């Protein structure tokens, strides 16, 4: 018998995510953060004969009339729901019962292309499908050898300049990071959440959300902020100021974080998307080979879905909000 169980405690849910090597966006804390900023979160496990075989953190957001809620599975589902339609359909029916939604948009943590019966490639994506993922299982020497010559040179240059990397320990550190991030956003032209959003991530995700600061002469000049599960690290945010750029602090910082992830036993380091810009060139210096993820898959559950996808700018506005960094 296939059933669904709603998880009510963070420890039990995160243990399930880790058991199936789920993505850090499936951690309880991420849903808690989203719940404080306009979403509702349910953590649903699918059981076969009483044994959990996978699940999904399900986020829902209300839409303006006449649309029912929008449901999103960030880098989910996980476990056998990815490969077996009967389990996936059980989840769909439970989501339908809970929300009566417009659509379920899923972005599974899978590379390449897949076909799920009744699902379609979404017209509007949330996370970028084009990314780069570093396999952390080789030795450090092997990882360095796979990087570009310039990247290796800048790692050494930054280290010789006296760059020091440490973990953020308090909200005052996050305030310093946000000051740098606002400069980065202004240069690159992307929108940000309010400060409280990032503060909530730091507070709610704890060890699943370490923030690393690069200091030079006692000044924070760059930061890098990943989310971390037992097998996967996923870059959320990062930035540097002019001084950090001058000494290439971001190179030594990223290499230091990669080393830390290896020590934690993480096997995959995902840079969270590639565009055709200078940041992409920087990322590809560490990971020359690109990866194409499955992308965004939609399960339409309302007759209003075609209007949502093809007829309204509202959909595009919502997706822009979802992508906000």
Domains and their CATH numbers in the chain: 2-128+293-323 (3.40.630.30), 131-291 (3.40.630.30)
Q: Can you give the pLDDT at residue 141?
A: 97
pTM, entire model: 0.93
Nearest to 105 by CA among 294, 292, 270, 260: 294
Give CA–CA dist 116/114, Å, rounded. 7
Greatest CA separation for the chain: 62
Q: Is 157 exposed, middle or buried (0-12, 13-18, 19+ CB in 10 A)?
A: middle
* Cα of 218 vs its chain's centroid, Å: 30
Mean pLDDT of all residues belonging to the chain: 94
CB-CB neighbours of 278 under 10 Å: 10
pLDDT tens, residue by residue, 10-50 = 999 999 999 999 999 999 999 999 999 999 999 999 999 99
* Ordered per-residue pLDDT tens for the chain, 325 residues: 999 999 999 999 999 999 999 999 999 999 999 999 999 999 999 999 999 999 999 999 999 989 999 999 999 999 999 999 999 999 999 999 999 999 999 999 999 988 999 999 998 888 999 999 999 999 999 999 999 999 999 999 999 999 999 999 999 999 999 999 999 888 888 889 999 999 999 999 999 999 999 999 999 999 999 999 999 999 999 999 999 999 999 999 999 999 999 999 999 999 998 886 768 889 999 999 999 999 999 999 999 999 988 876 665 566 666 556 5
Kindly list the distances between the CA atom of residue 120 and the CA atoms of 103, 106, 116, 260, in Å, as whole numbers in the listed order. Answer: 11, 10, 8, 38
- Judging by beta carbons within 10 Å of its beta carbon (0-12, 13-18, 19+), is residue 25 exposed, middle or buried? buried
Rounded Cα distance between 84 and 70, Å, is 24
């Amino acid at each position: 018998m296939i059933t669904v169980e709603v998880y009510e405690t963070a420890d039990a849910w995160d243990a399930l995510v880790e058991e199936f090597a789920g993505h850090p966006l499936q951690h309880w804390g991420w849903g808690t953060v989203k719940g404080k900023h306009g979403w509702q979160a349910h953590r649903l496990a699918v059981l076969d004969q009483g044994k959990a075989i996978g699940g999904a953190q399900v986020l829902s957001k209300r839409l303006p009339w006449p649309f029912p809620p929008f449901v999103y599975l960030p880098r989910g589902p996980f476990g056998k729901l990815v490969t077996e339609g009967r389990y996936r359909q059980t989840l769909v029916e439970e989501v339908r019962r809970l929300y009566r939604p417009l659509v379920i948009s899923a972005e599974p943590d899978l590379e390449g292309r897949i076909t799920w019966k009744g699902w379609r490639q979404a017209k509007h994506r949330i996370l970028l499908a084009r990314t780069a993922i570093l396999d952390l299982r080789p030795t450090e020497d092997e990882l360095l050898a796979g990087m570009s010559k310039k990247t290796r040179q800048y790692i050494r240059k930054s280290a010789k300049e006296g760059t020091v990397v440490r973990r953020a320990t308090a909200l005052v550190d996050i305030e310093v990071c946000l000051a740098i991030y606002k400069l980065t956003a202004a240069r690159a032209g992307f929108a940000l959440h309010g400060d409280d959003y990032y503060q909530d991530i730091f507070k709610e995700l704890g060890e699943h959300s370490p923030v690393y600061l690069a200091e030079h002469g006692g000044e924070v000049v760059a930061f890098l902020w990943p989310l971390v599960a037992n097998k996967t690290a996923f870059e959320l945010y990062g930035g540097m100021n002019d001084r950090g750029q001058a000494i290439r602090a971001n190179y030594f910082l990223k290499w230091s974080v990669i080393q830390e992830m290896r020590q934690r036993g993480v096997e995959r380091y995902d840079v969270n998307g590639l565009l055709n810009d200078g940041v992409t060139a920087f990322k590809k210096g560490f990971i020359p080979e690109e990866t194409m993820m499955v992308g965004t898959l939609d399960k339409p559950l309302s007759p209003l879905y075609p209007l949502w996808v093809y007829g309204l700018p509202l959909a595009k506005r919502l997706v822009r909000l979802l992508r906000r960094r």
